[in-house]
């Protein structure tokens, strides 16, 4: 019981320090965003619009290039191993043997 009260106090102080630090950090980040972010906007207004909206002719080219890139470079994920096939196929030989057998019977 002697240690209980100091333990509670220590917990409250510890949590207070942690949350206090977090609040201070949050305020600092908000202030930085406000100053640095607005500075950027003022320095280059409309830059995003220019990048996002090319001329209509260019748009077709961009779309075609994107489609071409997709069609040509999309690497398939299907693994196809190299295989060896028997060069001496039974297909033609068995047909010849069959025909010879038929002639003999005639």
Q: Is 15 or 67 the residue whose CB approaches other proteins more closely? A: 67
By CB under 8 A, residue 96 contacts other proteins? no
For the bound state, the minimum distance from the C-beta of residue 89 to other proteins, rounded and expressed in Å, comes to 5
Q: Is 51 or 72 the residue whose CB approaches other proteins more closely? A: 72
By CB under 8 A, residue 63 contacts other proteins? no
Cα dihedral 78, 84, 88, 90 sign = negative
* CA 12 to centroid of chain Cα atoms: 44
By CB under 8 A, residue 49 contacts other proteins? no
Q: State the greatest distance between any 2 C-alpha atoms of the chain, in Å, as a whole number.
A: 116
d(CA 27, CA 82): 62
**Contact residues for other proteins (CB under 8 A)?**
67, 71, 74, 76-86, 89-92, 94
């Amino acid at each position: 019981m002697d240690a209980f009260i100091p333990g509670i106090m220590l917990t409250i102080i510890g949590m207070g320090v942690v949350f206090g630090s977090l609040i201070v950090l949050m305020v600092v980040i908000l202030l930085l965003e406000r100053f640095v972010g607005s500075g950027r906007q003022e320095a280059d207004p409309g830059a995003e619009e220019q990048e996002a909206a090319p001329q209509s002719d260019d748009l077709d080219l961009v779309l075609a290039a994107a489609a071409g890139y997709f069609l040509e470079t999309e690497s398939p994920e299907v693994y196809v191993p190299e295989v060896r096939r028997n060069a001496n196929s039974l297909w033609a030989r068995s047909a010849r043997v069959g025909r010879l057998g038929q002639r003999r019977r005639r």
